[in-house]
């Protein structure tokens, strides 16, 4: 039999002596009495190895590293290896997250995530430097101010991109299908994102844009619906959730509730009882049974997918566009008491029919890819306008011309409007 002996130096022993009591105090009481073979028992050998690695770095690394830095890096690594959305937040990062939740911060207006180790644009926020510069969902960010992002954590990238208004940020983007990166120089602004916009595309056909889910988003959307209905009774409505990165869960429930008068909206499941929640629609709805088309794309994530999934499962509207992002996890922000915090994935979202959104996304009922309408030239035919002495028509109002140009530029929106008109034709014939 071979006897294995691990020699632990004096500094590591001192560190281990400090670490073990802290680990034991953090463990549930029944854990202390469990046998060493139990899967829930503290892995003492691994803790001892950790202490040895800690000591060797302290003693042999090429530069002196203080204990605080090593411990913070260990915590970051522990969380970053769980999933792309769990993270350890130092004081600056925790404050930055709080600012973004409140809807006001200095930056370029971009939501980012990681996929296959790459830093990727989830969506640019409407009317921000990122959206005006033409950044797109699924653009890969390869460098920030000349610093490569391949070994950069998500929180580090967010911290670098945020900053004081009127300062410049240089980012390099690799777009799908292109061989070399594009470089963008953006000027940071105070990002105050208005989450709801609305307008009438044509008489009777409304457009409701929700760019993200903040605490007041359902109230703003309700007001927008009532305002459009006062102008003219709605015959159809487009709910635009494209490039919506998500936000507050309760806000997503509130938006879905505007269109549903009964049934389940979403539920969550996790390991702890307080992470299991269920939300259902209330009996009243300001949207009534107005025909509804919901636009989604690869930038529609999290809370946006909750709304689309609920309306799809409840057969309340037609989901149109392309597959959504597929972020179906719930994160809780846990303050640590020293100004720092923990962002930890604690549950998963499920649609009313029990579909998991995570890594699946919402598949549209009608797939329509992003594009622009082009008017094809046809064989020249004689029309009224070609006849000598024809009466001249009045020029269309400027706003009508602008809307026509917008529908040419946005193929998905144009198709959604056409579908609403078709639904109304079918509905009238059934009557």
Is 36 assigned a catalytic role? Answer: no
Kindly indicate the confidence band of residue 19, based on its pLDDT and cuts at 50, 70 and 90: low
Answer whether residue 392 shows pLDDT above 60.
no
Alpha-carbon span 25 to 205, nearest angstrom? 62
Task: Name the pTM for this structure.
Answer: 0.70
φ, ψ dihedrals at 256, nearest 5°: -60, -35
Is CATH 3.30.530.20 the right assignment for the domain spanning 196-329+344-367?
Answer: no
Q: What digits encode the pLDDT tens for the residues 45-76? A: 899 999 999 999 999 999 999 999 999 999 99
Contact 52, 80 (CB under 8 A): no
**Distances, alpha carbon 397 to alpha carbons 233, 274, 403, 404, 414, in Å:** 22, 56, 10, 11, 19
Q: What digits encode the pLDDT tens for the residues 294-337? A: 999 999 999 999 999 999 999 999 999 999 999 999 888 899 98
Instruction: Return the closest-CA partner of residue 138 out of 151, 125, 119.
Output: 119
Alpha-carbon span 16 to 13, nearest angstrom? 5
Q: Which of 4-18, 105-119, 274-288 has the lowest mean pLDDT?
A: 4-18
Kindly indicate the confidence band of residue 151, based on its pLDDT and cuts at 50, 70 and 90: confident
Q: What digits encode the pLDDT tens for the residues 70-97? A: 999 999 999 989 998 899 998 888 877 7
Domain boundaries, the chain: 43-81, 104-192, 196-329+344-367
**The pLDDT value given to residue 95:** 78
Answer whether residue 32 shows pLDDT above 50.
no
CATH T-level fold of 104-192: Pdz3 Domain (2.30.42)
Catalytic one of 90, 126, 313, 410:
313
**The pLDDT value given to residue 114:** 84
Is 313 assigned a catalytic role? Answer: yes
Instruction: Return the closest-CA partner of residue 328 out of 360, 280, 295.
Output: 360
Is 327 assigned a catalytic role? Answer: yes
Which whole number is the average pLDDT over 111-127?
86
Average pLDDT of the chain?
84
- The string of DSSP letters for 99-163 reads HHHHTEEEE--EEEEEETTEEEEEEEPTTSHHHHHT--TT-EEEEETTEE-TT--HHHHHHHH--
Which whole number is the average pLDDT over 189-201?
86
**The pLDDT value given to residue 329:** 93
Catalytic one of 131, 300, 302, 414:
302
**The pLDDT value given to residue 253:** 97
Catalytic one of 240, 327, 329, 410:
327
Q: How many residues does the chain have?
A: 431
- Tell me whether the CATH fold assigned to 104-192 matches the one assigned to 196-329+344-367: no
Residue 165 neighbours by CB distance under 10 Å: 12
Q: What digits encode the pLDDT tens for the residues 217-257? A: 999 999 999 999 999 899 999 999 999 989 889 999 999 99
Q: Which of 12-16, 35-39, 278-282 has the lowest mean pLDDT?
A: 35-39
Alpha-carbon span 30 to 255, nearest angstrom? 44
Contact 268, 276 (CB under 8 A): yes
Burial string for 248-278 (b: 16+ CB within 10 Å, else e) reads: bbebbbbbbbbbbeeebbbbbebeeeeeebe
Residues forming a β-bridge with 343: 87, 333
């Amino acid at each position: 039999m071979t006897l294995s002996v691990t020699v632990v130096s004096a500094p590591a022993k001192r560190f281990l002596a400090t670490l073990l009591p802290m680990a034991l105090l953090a463990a549930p009481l029944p854990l202390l009495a469990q046998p060493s073979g139990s899967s829930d028992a503290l892995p003492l050998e691994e803790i001892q190895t950790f202490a040895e690695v800690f000591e060797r770095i302290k003693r042999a690394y090429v530069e002196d590293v203080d204990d605080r830095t090593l411990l913070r890096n260990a915590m970051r690594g522990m969380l970053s290896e769980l999933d792309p959305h769990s993270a350890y937040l130092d004081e600056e990062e925790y404050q930055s997250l709080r600012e973004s939740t409140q809807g006001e911060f200095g930056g370029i207006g971009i939501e980012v995530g990681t996929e296959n180790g790459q830093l990727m644009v989830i969506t640019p926020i409407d009317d921000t430097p990122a959206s005006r510069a033409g950044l797109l969902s699924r653009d890969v960010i390869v460098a920030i101010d000349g610093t490569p992002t391949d070994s950069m954590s998500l929180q580090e990238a967010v911290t670098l991109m945020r900053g004081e208004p009127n300062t410049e940020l240089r980012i390099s983007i690799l777009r799908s299908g292109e061989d070399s990166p594009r470089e963008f120089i953006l000027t940071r602004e105070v990002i105050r994102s208005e989450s709801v916009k609305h307008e009438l595309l044509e008489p009777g056909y409304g457009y409701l844009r929700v760019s993200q889910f903040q605490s007041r988003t359902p109230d703003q959307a309700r007001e927008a619906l009532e305002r459009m209905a006062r102008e003219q009774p709605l015959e159809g409505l487009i709910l635009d959730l494209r490039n919506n990165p998500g936000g507050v869960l309760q806000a997503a429930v509130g938006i879905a509730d505007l269109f549903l008068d009964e049934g389940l909206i979403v539920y969550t499941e996790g390991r702890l009882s307080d992470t299991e929640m269920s939300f259902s629609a209330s009996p009243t709805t300001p949207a009534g049974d107005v025909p509804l088309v919901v636009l989604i794309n690869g930038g529609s994530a999290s809370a946006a997918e909750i709304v689309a999934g609920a309306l799809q499962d409840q057969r309340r509207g037609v989901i149109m566009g392309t597959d959504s992002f597929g972020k179906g996890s719930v994160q809780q922000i846990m303050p640590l008491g020293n100004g720092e915090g923990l962002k930890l994935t604690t549950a998963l979202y499920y649609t009313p029919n029990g579909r998991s959104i995570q890594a699946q996304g919402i598949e549209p009922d009608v797939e329509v890819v992003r594009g622009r309408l082009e008017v094809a030239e046809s064989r020249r035919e004689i029309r009224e306008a070609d006849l000598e002495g024809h009466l001249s028509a009045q020029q269309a109002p400027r706003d009508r011309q602008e809307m026509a140009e917008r529908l040419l530029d946005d193929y998905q929106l144009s198709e959604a409007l056409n579908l609403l008109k078709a639904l109304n034709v079918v509905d009238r014939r059934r009557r």
